[in-house]
Structure 1
Amino acid sequence: MKTQVKALVVGGGAVGVSVAYHLARAGWSDVMLIERDELTSGSTWHAAGLLPYFNMSYATTWIHDYSIKFYKTLEEETGLNAGFYVVGNLRMAQSKARMDEYMLYAATAETVDVPFEWMTPAQIRDRFPLVRTEDLEGAIFHPTDGYINPADVTMAMAKGARQRGVTIERKWQVDGYEWAGDHWKVTLTKMTERGGNLLPSEERVVIEAEHVVTATGNHVQKTAKLLGLRLPAIPVEHQYIVTEPDPALVEWRKSNDQHPVLRDADAKWYVREERGGWILGPYERNAPARFEYGVPDSFRADLFPLDLERIEEEYMSFIHRIPSSEEVGLKDDFNGPIVYTPDGNPLIGPAPGLRNMWLAEGFSFGITAAGGTGHYLAQMMVEGEAEIDMASVDPKRFGPWMTTEYAARKDEEAYEHVFILHHPDEERPACRPLKTAPCYDRVKARGAQFGCVNGWERPNYYGPVDAPEDFDHEARSFRRGEWWQYAEAEARAIRETAGLIDATAFAKHILKGPGATAFLDWFTCNRLPKVGRINLTYALTEAGTTRTEYTIVRLAEDQYYLVSAGGWQAYDEDFLAKAMVDKASEFGPMVLEDVTAKHGVFALAGPRSRDILGTLIRDADPATALSNKRFPWLSARQIELMMCPVNAIRVAYTGELGWELHHPMEMQNYLFDRLMEAGEPHGLKLVGARAQNWLRQEKSYRAFGTELGRDATPLESGLDRFVDLSKEFHGKAAMQAKGVRTRCVTLLIDGPADADPWGREALYEDGVKVGRLTSGGYSVAFGKSIGMGYVRPDLAVTGKTLKVRMFKEMWDAEIVEDSPYDPSNATIRMDG
């Protein structure tokens, strides 16, 4: 057995085997995979093998697309049939809302060139007469996917991996990881069969590996403990049943190919053909999380006791949808663990705080994602970055504050929501509220309706406090929901009077020390601000794409206050902290402190914002304290608002005259009350995140996670003015070598009267796809829909009209100049 390798992959399910295969395919010749039992002995063996394209995430759609195409090539390469049955996937809808969901999904699918067809109930009945259709609205049909034998595809990938030089060792369990400064020492224990159990022996070995990838499936909590991490991936029970042959299906098959995989999303189940019968897999309510603290040693390729009462409703709806199944008996049944995460997406990428430790964990659709995960993770490891932005599946999108209890309850919720309508404006309720700013009760009493950002409760909009009986705060929609009218009024208030936004969820760090200035100058692409000034800047990946956006406030010569997106607190901190360690010897000592929970933030913006602050500020000359001369745009000052000390920053994400008021968290309620009192005579209105999102698009302000990510450089994002090419910075050469492959633009859209784009739609010219939206919403300044996105560079011309598809229809989308609202920034610079 080898004891030194380039990469060690831990876990022999479909995901781990795919990672090993793709690392070898990418050119790493010294790769080893270890499995504590037999290949496929985890969740892979009892998976139903479905390969659904359907996913609302852009990155995950790419991952699934790669898998489906890759699996079709394995037999030619390895000689092993992967058991792929390309029967198609028919996803049915019982309601117009469900069809709206499919149309929004189709917008994402189009951006990845995923083929699909629309079907009416009559077309479903004609093509698949076993399906009852009178209560359906329609369906979306994917002709190129289907189902696969999980064991067969895993063994085919294993053979391909071995052919490329990968060593696969079975019956070895990891019992320890130790970082030795430039490589990992991984302690393995030989596992032996005794009385039907798999037990550790006395045999030990230590493997030295430059890189380690964990793909440990149900054992992820043990992996987390060995690595000293908190990973919110926990198995949830998933049941499915297999019926005896259905005579009607057997008869139909005499003159037809296999039936497609069927999904009745409103009934919360999938069903596929199996040896003349059916496999029914429901996603019911109240499925429990299991193994929260680790898998028992006695659990191997085992199952849980059935709870058929829990899936009775889904079973009866299956009989309703396929009436011929009513007289068919049950042949077999399964209840096994499937790992989930709080948002349903896997954890793929570098482990937080660790070097050369890569995670491939938390796969609820592991067979579908295995191929693409191996491909894109190998790109990250070998080339430094994947060709698509993997931030939405990065393990660090979940902060270390998550406990086991939180993860278990949110993972149960994610399981339950597999077939619940995936509204873009949905807010799932489990485990909330948890992290609240002090002003939470005050804004809630004023009608705040909250979203959740990194655990923080953040107002999305402010609805009526005394809502009429027919008003539903929980109503969601794929079009303009109940909240739209309130967000529109909030956005208009900021443009016309003033608005106050709770921005406490911002991530906030202080970087200081003798090496801080030289390091930050190298770490970011823009010039550093002078003391008392601020700058917007970006940290790049090794590939020259955008990794993090920071607002930098220079507090002193060697002290900086860094503000970044609230949803990416751990993600940003990990990247920054690792770079600091790498460069400490070059630039000198420095210290990083996370002060997110110490400072609350209110964003006050609008033409009357100076008047409001002017009544509160305590200064020797209050009349001039907020003037352009004493407090210019893009500067920061320590001010006093009555009894509250405030680090005030003259900047506004909404594009109006405004300030961010960073204040001691313990004084937040005091400051809130004073601002509301001072603002009342000036028409101050509380404003939520949705209106803010619309307003920032009117200014063409890019947002991290939408316009900004690891698949585009700052130059491609149109951020040239924030890139100082006269200096050297991390990622500069790679950024310049890439050139400009695409361009970020802002578009005004003449869309449907009852809907705005969500930022997932494809853009077309003369029927040819030329780009995609990354953000969308409504513009109060222009009275129409607005969006931002990426197009071919030759099309990024002001006045160019493209088409955007929304709800199957094509709508005009005109590219406008950057910052179509107030392009000269006159309102932001307004003097007083």
Structure 2
Amino acid sequence: MKTEVKALVVGGGAVGNGIAYHLAKAGWSDVMLLERDELTSGSTWHAAGLLPLFNMSYATSHIHDYSVKFYKSLEEETGLNAGFSVVGNLRMAQTQARMDEYMLYASTAETVGVPYEWMTPAQIKERWPLVRTEDLEGAIFHPTDGYINPADVTMAMAKGARQRGVTIERKWQVDGYEWKGDHWEVTCTKMADKGGNLVATEEQVVVKAEHVVTATGNHAQRTAKLLGIKSPAIPVEHQFIVTEPDPMLQEYRKTHGEHPVLRDADAKWYVREERGGWILGPYEKNAPACFEYGVPDSFRADLFPLDLERIEEEYMSFIHRIPSSEEVGLKDDFNGPICYTPDGNPLVGPAPGLRNMWLAEGFSFGITAAGGTGYYLAQMMVEGEAEIDMASLDPKRFGSWVTTEYAARKNEESYDHVFILHHPDEERPACRPLKTAPAYDRQKALGAQFGCVNGWERPNYFGPLDAPDSFDHDARSFRRGAWWDYAKDEAHAIREGVGLIDATAFTKHVLSGPGATQFLDWFTTNKLPRVGRINLTYALTAAGTTRTEYTIVRRGEDSYYLVSAGAWQSYDADFLRAAIADKTAEFGAMTLQDVTSQYGVFAIAGPKSRDVLGALISDANPETALSNKRFPWLSSQDIELKMCPTMAIRVAYTGELGWELHHPIEMQNYLFDQLMQAGEPHGLKLVGARAQNWLRQEKSYRAFGTELGRDATPLEAGLDRFVDLNKDFHGKAAMEAIGIRSKCVTLLVDGPADADPWGREALYAGDTKVGRLTSGGYSPAFGRSIGMGYVRPDLAEPGTKLMVKIQDKLWPVEVTVDSPYDPTNATIRKDG
């Protein structure tokens, strides 16, 4: 076995082989893959082999789309048939709400280039008469989809990898990882079969590897412990059953082709043909997590006992949908572990806190994702970034606060949510509330309907005071749900009066020390602010795209307070720490503190916000303390609001006169009560994240994770004013080399009367797809829908007429000026 390689891939399932293949294809010839047992002996061997193209995640959709196309090319390259049956994928809908979901899916599919067709119940019945259709609304059909033999496709990728120079070693278990400053030393133990068990021998080898990728499937918890990190990847039991041959199906097949993969999402199952019978795969409630603390040594290619009572409801609905199956017996059953994560998406990217360690774990749809994961992860490793933004799959989207109990319960929820209605405003209930700011109970009593951001409870909007806890679920819709009017009132309150937003979930860091100023000047794109001032700036990837957005408050000559997106706390912290470690010797000593949990944040905004704060501020001349002269826009001051010391920042994400009030979190309830009391004479209204999202689009404020990401530069995002090209900064040369491939624009939408875009829709010029929305919503200022997105540079001029796909129809949109509401910032600079 080799003892020194460029890249070591740990795990010989479909995902691991896909990564090894693509690393070699990308030019890394010295790659080795280790498997502790036999190739495909993990979850790969008992996977059903489905290839669903449907996904609301832009990154995951690209991954699945690449896989489907790639698998079709494997036989020509390797001579091995991957067992791909291109029978299509039919997703049936029993309700109009499910059809609404499919219409949103379809528009997202168009942004990726995935083909689809709509089918009526009559058309379904005509083509596949064994399917009962009288209680269906319709279906969406993907003709290029189907299913594949998991073992065959894995072996084909393994052969392709070997042909490109990859070494594959079986029966080697990794028992230790040690970083040596420029490479990993990986301790490997030879495994042997003894009496049907896999046991460790005394033979050990240490492999030196510049890069390591773990794709260890159900063994992700063991891998995490060896690396000294936390991972939310924990398996859940998944059952599927195989029936005896169905005589009516056999008769049908004498004159017809194979059925597509059938999915009745409302019944929570998939079905496909299998040797004249059927495979039924349910996604039932109460499927338990397993192996929370690691896979037992005795568990190899094993299964759990079948629990038919757990899937009785899904089994009966299968018989209802395909009546010919009622008299057919069961031939075989499978109940095996499939790894999940709390949001259902895999963990793909750099491991937190480690150099040259890459994770590819937590794949609940590993066969579908294996090829695409290999392709895009290889781009990240070889070229520095992938061509699509992979941040939504980054392992650091889950912080170190995630415990084993949390991950297990959320993964069970993720499993039974596979086929629920995935509203774009979906909020899942398991393990909540967990992280709450002190004012949580006060806001809940005032009607707050909460969303979850990095575990924090954050108000989405404020509903009726007498509503039960279920109101938010009942209010959801693919159109304008029952929450919409509440959010609209909140948006108008900020535009016309004053509103208060809980922004405690913001990520907050303090950077100080002799090297801090020089480091931040190199690390970010904008000029650094003077002491007491703030600026908006960006940190870039090495590839020149946007890695993080920061609001920087300069507290002293070498002391800075950094504010970034609440959802990305661990993601931002990891990036900062790594950059500081690389540059301390060059720039000088620095100290970084994550103070997210130490400070609460309220954002007060609106024409009357100065009046509310003026009633609370302790100052010799309170009538002028908040004036432009004494407290100018884009500045920060330490003020006292009655008994609460507060770092006030004059900035507002809503585009109105306003301040962010960063305060000791232990004083939050006191400050909340004071603000509510002072605001009462001025009609202060509590405001949630949804209204804020609409308002920031009226100001064309880009948001990280939507308009801002690792697939576009700040210049492409239209943020030239925050990029100082007169200085050198990290990623500058790469950014300039990219040029302008597309441009971020704001669009006003004349859409349907009962719906707004969600930010996942395709944009068209005539019949040509020319871009996509990244954000969407309603504009209270213009009384119509609004969106932001990316288009070809030649279509980015204000006044350009385009079309957007909403609810399977094209609606007119117009590119508007940046910051269509108050483009001169007169309201935000308002004096008093």
Q: TM-score, normalised by structure 1?
A: 0.99
SS at match of 1:147: coil
| 1:585 corresponds to 2:603 | no
CA–CA distance in 1 between the matches of 2:565 and 2:333?
46
CA–CA distance in 1 between the matches of 2:481 and 2:137?
21
Aligned amino acid, residue 635 of structure 1: S
What is the match of residue 688 of structure 1? 688
| 1:126 corresponds to 2:130 | no
| 1:713 corresponds to 2:713 | yes
SS at match of 1:84: coil
What is the match of residue 265 of structure 2? 265
CA–CA distance in 2 between the matches of 1:58 and 1:181?
35
Per-residue CA deviations over 1:707-757 (Å, capped at 9, x if unaligned) read: 000000000000000000000000100100010000000001011111000
Q: Which moved more, 1:358-367 or 1:615-624?
A: 615-624
CA–CA distance in 2 between the matches of 1:523 and 1:470?
45
The percentage of aligned residue pairs carrying the same residue is 82
CA–CA distance in 2 between the matches of 1:48 and 1:724?
53
CA–CA distance in 1 between the matches of 2:252 and 2:575?
57
SS at match of 2:16: helix
CA–CA distance in 2 between the matches of 1:582 and 1:71?
40
Per-residue CA deviations over 1:771-795 (Å, capped at 9, x if unaligned) read: 0000000000000000000000000
Per-residue CA deviations over 1:353-375 (Å, capped at 9, x if unaligned) read: 00000000000000000000000
Aligned amino acid, residue 808 of structure 1: D
Aligned amino acid, residue 210 of structure 1: E
Contact 1:89 1:261 in 2 (8 A): yes
Distance of aligned partners of 1:550 and 1:270 in 2 relative to their CA distance in 1, 3 Å threshold: same
Q: How much does 1:259 deviate? A: 1.0
CA–CA distance in 1 between the matches of 2:646 and 2:187?
52
CA–CA distance in 1 between the matches of 2:463 and 2:77?
59
What is the match of residue 762 of structure 1? 762
Contact 2:472 2:483 in 1 (8 A): no
What is the match of residue 634 of structure 1? 634
SS at match of 1:430: coil
Contact 1:449 1:473 in 2 (8 A): no
Report matched runs for 1:467-482 at 5 Å: 467=467, 474-482=474-482
Aligned amino acid, residue 51 of structure 2: L
What is the match of residue 367 of structure 1? 367
CA–CA distance in 2 between the matches of 1:754 and 1:469?
25
Aligned amino acid, residue 68 of structure 2: I
Report matched runs for 1:71-470 at 5 Å: 71-467=71-467
Contact 1:52 1:146 in 2 (8 A): yes
Contact 2:384 2:543 in 1 (8 A): yes
CA–CA distance in 1 between the matches of 2:768 and 2:782?
28
Aligned amino acid, residue 539 of structure 1: A
SS at match of 1:679: helix
CA–CA distance in 1 between the matches of 2:163 and 2:457?
51
Per-residue CA deviations over 1:37-72 (Å, capped at 9, x if unaligned) read: 000000000000000001010000000000000000
CA–CA distance in 2 between the matches of 1:423 and 1:330?
35
Q: Which runs of 5+ in 1 are unaligned?
A: none
Per-residue CA deviations over 1:260-297 (Å, capped at 9, x if unaligned) read: 10000000000000001000000000000000000000
CA–CA distance in 2 between the matches of 1:362 and 1:813?
39
SS at match of 1:678: helix
What is the match of residue 47 of structure 1? 47
SS at match of 1:339: strand
CA–CA distance in 1 between the matches of 2:507 and 2:477?
30
Number of residue pairs matched by the alignment? 832
SS at match of 1:686: strand
Q: How much does 1:468 deviate? A: 9.4
Contact 1:463 1:473 in 2 (8 A): no
Distance of aligned partners of 1:471 and 1:398 in 2 relative to their CA distance in 1, 3 Å threshold: closer
Per-residue CA deviations over 1:216-259 (Å, capped at 9, x if unaligned) read: 00000000000011110100000000001111111111111211
Q: Which moved more, 1:339-348 or 1:252-261?
A: 252-261
Q: How much does 1:469 deviate? A: 12
CA–CA distance in 1 between the matches of 2:136 and 2:11?
42
CA–CA distance in 1 between the matches of 2:589 and 2:18?
41
What is the match of residue 736 of structure 1? 736
Contact 1:448 1:463 in 2 (8 A): yes
SS at match of 2:433: coil
CA–CA distance in 1 between the matches of 2:713 and 2:199?
51
Per-residue CA deviations over 1:10-61 (Å, capped at 9, x if unaligned) read: 0000000000000000000100000000000000000000000010100000
Q: How much does 1:474 deviate? A: 3.5
Aligned amino acid, residue 169 of structure 2: E
Q: How much does 1:475 deviate? A: 2.9
Report matched runs for 1:477-492 at 5 Å: 477-492=477-492
Contact 2:101 2:478 in 1 (8 A): yes
Runs of 4+ in 1 over 6 A off after TM superposition: 468-472
CA–CA distance in 1 between the matches of 2:383 and 2:471?
52
CA–CA distance in 2 between the matches of 1:152 and 1:469?
49
CA–CA distance in 1 between the matches of 2:179 and 2:805?
50
Q: How much does 1:693 deviate? A: 0.2
Aligned amino acid, residue 125 of structure 2: R
Contact 1:473 1:483 in 2 (8 A): no
Distance of aligned partners of 1:817 and 1:299 in 2 relative to their CA distance in 1, 3 Å threshold: same
What is the match of residue 752 of structure 1? 752
Q: How much does 1:587 deviate? A: 0.6
CA–CA distance in 2 between the matches of 1:36 and 1:809?
52
What is the match of residue 548 of structure 2? 548
SS at match of 1:702: coil
Aligned amino acid, residue 609 of structure 1: S
Report matched runs for 1:497-536 at 5 Å: 497-536=497-536
CA–CA distance in 1 between the matches of 2:718 and 2:11?
42
CA–CA distance in 1 between the matches of 2:317 and 2:79?
41
Contact 1:91 1:265 in 2 (8 A): yes
Per-residue CA deviations over 1:170-224 (Å, capped at 9, x if unaligned) read: 0000110000010000001111111110000111110000000000000000000
Per-residue CA deviations over 1:110-165 (Å, capped at 9, x if unaligned) read: 00110000000000000111100000000000000100000000000000000000
Q: How much does 1:467 deviate? A: 3.8
Q: How much does 1:473 deviate? A: 5.5
What is the match of residue 674 of structure 2? 674
CA–CA distance in 2 between the matches of 1:670 and 1:829?
29
What is the match of residue 562 of structure 2? 562
What is the match of residue 37 of structure 2? 37
CA–CA distance in 2 between the matches of 1:198 and 1:829?
70
CA–CA distance in 2 between the matches of 1:634 and 1:467?
39
Q: How much does 1:624 deviate? A: 1.0
Distance of aligned partners of 1:36 and 1:371 in 2 relative to their CA distance in 1, 3 Å threshold: same
SS at match of 2:624: coil
Aligned amino acid, residue 380 of structure 1: M
Q: Which runs of 5+ in 2 are unaligned?
A: none
SS at match of 1:315: helix
Contact 1:111 1:761 in 2 (8 A): yes
CA–CA distance in 1 between the matches of 2:823 and 2:747?
14
Contact 1:498 1:608 in 2 (8 A): yes
Aligned amino acid, residue 558 of structure 1: D
CA–CA distance in 2 between the matches of 1:224 and 1:195?
29
Q: Which moved more, 1:47-56 or 1:252-261?
A: 252-261
Q: How much does 1:470 deviate? A: 11
CA–CA distance in 1 between the matches of 2:319 and 2:704?
46
Aligned amino acid, residue 411 of structure 2: D
